[in-house]
Every structure is written in C-alpha cells, then in structure tokens.
Amino acid sequence: MVINQSDDRALTRKAMKAELLDAETELALAYAWRDQRDEQALHRLITAYMRLAISMASKFRRYGAPMNDLIQEASLGLMKAADKFDPDRGVRFSTYAVWWIKASIQDHVMRNWSMVRTGSTSSQKSLFFNLRRVQARLEREAMKRGETIDRHDMRQMIATEVGVPLRDVEMMEGRLSGSDFSLNATQSSEDEGREWIDALEDDGEQASETVQNSHDTDTLRQWLLTALTALSDREQFIVRERKLRDLPRTLESLGTELGLSKERVRQLEAAAFGKMRKSLEGQSHEVQNFLA
C-alpha cells in the first residue's frame, strides 16, 4: 500500500472515524481470520486499529522520515501482527500489535537514516532510539547535582544504562552526529572547488609498479621460450597443452590424441619439466614455481 502526501490527512481522518472494537468483537474477528481466512474480518480488524498505527508513526517524525512513509510502514507492521496473532493466548490484539508496528517503523527509520548500515542487532536498535533520550536525562540529573560529566564518562554511563558495549555507543554517536555527504561535493564554496573524492588515495596500481610488472613479465616469458626450445616437438606440445592453456588438458585426452597411454604422457611431461628446470637453473623462483 503506497500512501501519497495528498491522502495522508484523509487516511488519518478516516482512521479516527473507525469503529472501536470491544474485546468480544475483536476476538471474533481474529478467529474468523485465523481459522477461515475471512478477508472482511481482517479488513475490519486492520481498519479499527489503523488509528493506533498512525499514532505510533507520528512519534518517529523527529527522525526525518516523511510521515506518509512512516504510516505505510506502521500499516505493514499492523498487517503482520494480524497475520501472526493467536487469539487463544488471551491477549488483546492492540497489545500484541504494538510490538509489530513499532518494529516495522524502527526498521524503516534505521534503513533510511544513512547509506551506511547503522545497526542490526536488538541492542544497537535500542541504542539508536534511546541514546539521545538517555544522554539528556543523565545531563539533567548531573546539573541538579551541580556536576559536569566529561564525554568519556557520559558514554560509559550510557553504555551501562542501555546495556551495550562502550564501542557501540561511540559508533552510534558518530553515526547520529550528522547525515551522509556526497563525495562529489566541493570542499569549498568556490565553483571550481576540489571535490572530496579527489582527496581519496588511489589504491590502483601506480605507474612505477606497472612498468616493473611489465618488465618482469617480459623477462619471465623470454626465459620460458628459451627453455621450451630445448624440448622436442612432442614435449613442447605436452607442456603447452598442460600448462599454457586457460583450460589445461588431461593426461588421458593427450594420450588419446598422441596414441600413447596416460602413464606414458605423464612420464614425457615429467621429463620435459626436468629439462626445463635444468635450463632455468639459477633463474627466478617464479619460473621454478611454474614447473612445481
């Protein structure tokens, strides 16, 4: 269900006019949906408690999310609650629905707060929604006592109060201190100002490394070509097919093509590598690894 800003207020007015269900009617609707999948009963149950969903959504407006998005998430939470509600447990649907509505709204707020994932565990979510409130209360209590709490002690007190590690408080405080900024934003107000992305270190290969790697590759190739010339045509063929192809061939396939047994091809391969090792003796260990 997508709610546009234009019908946000209309939905709120409609919800405020919805019927108030007594416990008996609520229970009957819950049974009808659970046991008979009666969509009319579900619609009536959802409509009656849409007022509750909107009221809870309004409490999260301070996090910057559009009200219509919050209402939509609240309604999704309400529908999940209706789908999972068990009327046999003797609990009012409104009491059960509160948890699902709140969880749905909180997940939406945290997903959209920043491009960087703010938190996923229950303790991190609790910290996200309670850090400022707990900090303000601790500051008020300290002022009444005539005390001043430094930042480190404040973080430690918040961690103890919320029941999370100190590092989580430090991380969350940084995430809540400001919104995301584009790397394409300029570092100054000038039209030709340097963009922040230009200040990032280039982790790509540097020019000197490119030249050195190219030189090493050419040297390695020349060593291999020299060593290959010391082999017979059949040995060169086996080495190329076994080591120089993107998809090396099997001993069995080479044996079929050459009219030899698999074991004989293996012996020829081993002999060829032995000749190449002798030719490359004293050269780079990279070549020795190639023949390993």
Tens of pLDDT, residue by residue over 183-238, are 455 555 555 556 655 555 555 555 566 666 676 677 777 777 877 887 888 888 88
At residue 185, the pLDDT reads 56
> d(Cα 292, Cα 288) in Å, to the nearest integer?
6
Pull the structure tokens for residue 67.
């009200």
pLDDT band with cut points at 50, 70 and 90 for residue 75: very high
At residue 210, the pLDDT reads 64
At residue 95, the pLDDT reads 92
> d(Cα 205, Cα 178) in Å, to the nearest integer?
34
- List of residues 6+ apart from 243 with CB closer than 8 A: 290
Cβ atoms of 93 and 45 within 8 Å: the answer is yes
Share of the chain above pLDDT 90, in %: 22
Average pLDDT, integer, range 239-247: 85
Tens of pLDDT, residue by residue over 8-56, are 666 677 777 778 889 999 999 999 999 999 999 999 999 999 999 999 9
At residue 118, the pLDDT reads 47
Helices (H), the chain: 8-16, 23-36, 39-48, 50-58, 67-84, 93-113, 122-144, 151-162, 166-176, 207-228, 233-243, 251-258, 262-279, 285-290
